[in-house]
Amino acid sequence: MTSIPSRAVSLVARIERWPIAGSFTISRGTKTEAVVVVAEVSQDGVTGRGECVPYPRYGETPEAALSAIQAMQAPLASGIDRNALQAAMPAGAARNALDCALADLEAKRAGARIWQLLGRPAPEPRTTAYTISLGPAEAMAEATAKAAHRALLKIKLGGEGDAARIAAVRKAAPASELMVDANEAWTEDNLAANLKACADAGVTLIEQPLPAGKDEALARIERPVMVCADESVHDRASLEALRGRYDAVNIKLDKTGGLTEALAMADAAGALGFEIMIGCMVATSLSMAPAMLIAQAARFVDLDGPLLLARDRDHGLRYAGSLVYPPDAALWG
């Protein structure tokens, strides 16, 4: 029997806008929609999809990410795979979309789930954090009270007045586990006081209190609460410099440049003794689905992006209270 050769991979990419339910505020500003870039790679009548969120903090824009993805049409047609993609594109949002799309295509062509092909255990439901946007203490307490039934809350902080914010939030959610995310808004001058306020409120984890590149004070101060790197960590190459300053690392696929590097980074971070957090940007379930593989080894899971949207895409992840379930094949992987 003569085999039919596979056709070349084709690529389609586009920018999509998904309204946020209300607004979402962190120390760097407020937004009312999630702007994502979707890559679709097709071969032999099968299509794999990936989604990314270009982040201005790292100089990324949706238009630039779209162009970077489209520029990979010829290499894809020539047969570049996920492993070769790691060297062909820099880490970042654009590579993430393509990496996850290729993984999805690989699974769908094999008629298997991606974790089977990667030799990983099947993902199980995990408890995800739910994010409370930054605002005045009273407003944050009111929003927290509505979410106080959730097991894990992530509280956005912003610098001045954070001690009052976290105290008000704790009062509004006495039974929830709390994480806080300062998004680089603290300084060396208020670091100790804010750490104490978080410790007094029983906070479990503090994410990126100081600006990346200006976080040396974390190595010189007693840390009464676990401190997690976010903007200070991107991929495996950035892990070694964090030792002594951070206790945990936040892995985001838009930073690592996709699932391929994220899985390797999670393994490396665990070997170095870091606790693992899997995080996300505000995006649809297509962004969250690959991250569910990292969530299996993570102490902290923050994959609530779709819960913050006015609506999610078809076949989105299933959320039951604070539990998020692995993706169906119709969504990804």
Give the span between the Cα atoms of 293 and 275, in whole angstroms. 16
For residue 154, indicate whether it is catalytic: no
Look up residue 316 and give its DSSP letter: P
User: Exactly one of 108, 154, 214, 252 is catalytic; which is it?
Assistant: 252
**Long-range contact pairs involving 60-66 (C-beta distance under 8 Å, separation at least 24):** 60/92, 60/93, 60/94, 62/15, 62/35, 62/36, 62/37, 63/15, 64/94, 65/37, 65/92, 65/93, 65/94, 65/97, 66/13, 66/14, 66/15, 66/37, 66/94
Angle (CA) 294 298 304, round 5° = 75
Angle (CA) 237 260 114, round 5° = 160
Look up residue 246 and give its DSSP letter: B
Q: Which of 248, 256, 330 is nearest to 297 (CA)?
A: 248
Q: Which of 194, 291, 276, 184 is nearest to 232 (CA)?
A: 184
**Three-class SS of residue 216?**
helix
User: Exactly one of 108, 146, 154, 156 is catalytic; which is it?
Assistant: 156
Asked if 259 and 253 touch (Cβ cutoff 8 Å), the reply is: yes
- Separation of CA 232 from chain center: 14
Residue 268 CA: distances (Å) to CA of 115, 137, 222, 249, 265: 19, 38, 25, 11, 5
First to last CA, the chain: 31
- For tokens 């993706």, the residue is 327
Q: Which amino acid does the sequence have at 195?
A: L
Label the pairing between strands 300-301 and 275-278. Answer: parallel
The 10 Å Cβ neighbour count of residue 68 is 21
Catalytic residue positions, numbered:
156, 252
